Amino acid sequence: MKITTSMTPAGICTIAVIGDLDIYAAREFHSILTSDFENNLSGLTSVIFDLDKMESIDLSAMQLIMQVQKICVENDKDFRVIGRNALIKEFILLTSSDVVVEDRGSKTSVDVSSSVDIGARRQECSGCDHLYVSIRFDRQIFKYGLNPLCCLQSLRESNQILSVKLITSAAPEGLTMEPELCYFGLELTCTPNTSADEISKAFELLLDDCTLETIEPAAPLSEYALLLKTRRAEWEEVESFLLTSKTLLPDQLQVVHALSLLSASEEKNYSTQPKADAPLTENIERQQLETSKLDKLIDLMGELVISSAKNKLLISQVDNARLNESSAMMSRLVEELRETALTLRLIRIGDVFRRYRRVVSDGGQKRGKKISLTIGGGDAELDKSLAEKITDPLLAIFRHAIDHGIECVAERLKRGKAENGVINVKAYHESKSIVIEVADDGVGLDKNKIRDRAVILGLIDKNQKLSESELFQLIFKPAFSMDDKSTRISGRRDGIDFVKTAIETLGGSVAVFSEKGSGTTFVIKLPVAAAILDSFLVDVDKHLYAIPLNMVLDYIEINEKTKVEFIEQKAIRFEGEVLPLINLSDLFQAPEKSVRQKNILIVKYGRDKAGLLVDDFKGEYQAVIKPLGDILQKVRGFSGAAVIGSQELAMVLDIPGLIQSKCAKEERKFKSTTQDNDDYRIH
């Protein structure tokens, strides 16, 4: 995708798009529009979108272009879309909003109190003979890889659509919108022979993430009124479409308008059979409200756990048996309360996976591959906030499998594999983590190819020796992509570089296993609940650091009695194994060094172990983990901050990252001839 903008002195701004304008280009497109168009608005006379060389468009781009159109109309600028291809047709079809609704004045003057008339007409039939469909999408659908315009395509191919309109009222003013969210809705009318089932089928993959209402041909006016009621915020646009699509006659629209303004109690007066089921949208809203309350509850819970821990500590110092007993009782209850509260927020991971079925089947089809998604262990539960955050990384992994993993049909047959490629995703619990495995049965990763490319990119030294897992970790490096040509579905974020960082910010890790020729498996490990962490505190140069307790294997206090075998201060021997030793004080380069006797904490992550040289052990604590915030999101070595008790704060060490960078560093030191002898600074 490429966007160029040019501006003539006369104030004509031409924005030309080449290639695909999809969700991955949305943010870039948005920033180009903001800087080149919105900021120069006063000097412009006309805006031209040149879509001649564009290959595809999706709703996210439509939203932006239509917002530009809106701004142009409001500011009296000329707006044009040029090009010769079929996209333009589609574009004009969807954006034809230049219809002026007549009788707006008289409509609002409809006297609601003339109830006899309205009441009598509510059962009147609309007289139109087409199916009316109204769809509103979940804001997040683009992130699930869903494009509503694709669904429309199938209906259009069978000539079932009579007219269609994008409903734009929900979008924020101008270009202030978030480019990766879906604000638009769709209204369409279909030929009489179309059944509501066919519509559901066309939008099948979106059904979980949208509200779809259909009104049968020649339905009573009260049904349209009900629809209008649920679309209250967008009534102007919906009403104008009801007229232009010839669904309702102007006088019928007046009745519908009046009916839609009736409150529920007034409605009853007219209604002989009150409609039992409430509009779907209301349900959703209530759900969202509960979620925010739930988050508040979890937050408070976290604070309660902490203050209870502090209380317990203070009481234990008083040495009063009865007080101790009651405090122990309370701690138990708080603990129980905490566990229960945390389960409230868990959702089944199968629900998360199901969203990807479409991505997989669609993506495969576009590439001439047959791919199906199988789901295992969908019953495992995951914290809701975590589930939302892994949506993007999971999508990237699926896309990697679709683009680079599974071979096309001919290739598979040649290799004696089944025609159908399979991506299997499964989830299971492992101690306090949840593990998600995404496995494909495709080509697998080619170690030599990765190696060669890494050398070309300067990521590793030519003679550097790397273990298999280290080699595979290289594919997460930015700019690392096995294929030079960028493919449509992976788009801008070709390669899966952001997967690793995204997962690690969540306190998890990702590993890759692959066998050349038989497939690749991504293994993601995540903590079950992100909010509260059992952690081990250590002191380094008078600052506290927290380590997730499940990663602590052992601790060794160094005194006269214990004997620890150091190897050049770079490694230690522990239970017969040689472990790398990380000197945190050196790593952090604190200005004031402590002169304390050091102690060693043995940490593990997966199969990796390491020793951490610290000043002092502070013991086990429960901590509420907070992210460091957007500004510090790129900070390495730490996965967040821990709040312990009401006073103490500690940085949470990113053990997987530390071990990995340490190992990489050491290997470079031992094995390469050009030895750089600086500190253990990460990367």
Partner 1 sequence: MSVNINPKKTGQSNIDDQEISQRRQNNNYIVFGIASRKYGVEVDSISEIIEYGRVLKVPMTPSCIHGVVYLRGNMIAVIDIASLFSRPKSQPDARSSIVIIDCVYRGRELRLGFLVESIERVVELSLGDIELRPEFSVELDSGYTRGIGIVEKEMVTLLDIENVLSVESIMDLVESQYR
User: Site residues (CB under 8 A) for partner 1?
Assistant: 176-178, 299, 543, 587-590, 626-638, 640-641, 643, 647, 649-651, 681-683
Kindly tell me which of 88 and 649 has the beta carbon lying closer to partner 1.
649
Report, in Å, the least distance between residue 588 CB and partner 1: 4
Is 475:563 a contact under the CB 8 Å cutoff? no
Of 449, 453, 469, the C-alpha closest to 521 is 469
Report the C-alpha gap between 566 and 31 in whole angstroms: 54
Total count of residues recorded for the chain: 683
Report the C-alpha gap between 512 and 522 in whole angstroms: 5
Kindly tell me which of 401 and 641 has the beta carbon lying closer to partner 1.
641
CB neighbours of 138 closer than 8 A, spacing ≥ 6? 182, 209, 210
Report, in Å, the least distance between residue 502 CB and partner 1: 16
Neighbours of 204 (CB within 10 A): 12
Cα angle value 246/252/254 (rounded, 5°): 115
DSSP structural state of residue 176: -
CB neighbours of 31 closer than 8 A, spacing ≥ 6? none
Kindly tell me which of 370 and 626 has the beta carbon lying closer to partner 1.
626
Kindly tell me which of 41 and 643 has the beta carbon lying closer to partner 1.
643
Give CA torsion, residues 643, 644, 646, 649, to 10 deg.
-50
Report, in Å, the least distance between residue 91 CB and partner 1: 26
Kindly tell me which of 607 and 634 has the beta carbon lying closer to partner 1.
634
Kindly tell me which of 118 and 177 has the beta carbon lying closer to partner 1.
177
Kindly tell me which of 344 and 632 has the beta carbon lying closer to partner 1.
632
Is 256:228 a contact under the CB 8 Å cutoff? yes
DSSP output for 249-276:
-HHHHHHHHHHHHS-HHHHHHH-SS---
* Alpha-helical regions (H) of 275-431: 280-318, 321-344, 349-354, 356-366, 384-389, 391-400, 409-414
The tokens of 181 are what?
């969210």
Report, in Å, the least distance between residue 537 CB and partner 1: 13
Kindly tell me which of 526 and 651 has the beta carbon lying closer to partner 1.
651
Q: Which residues does residue 566 pair with via DSSP β-bridges, in sequence order?
A: 572
In single-letter form, the type of residue at position 457 comes to: L
Report, in Å, the least distance between residue 618 CB and partner 1: 15
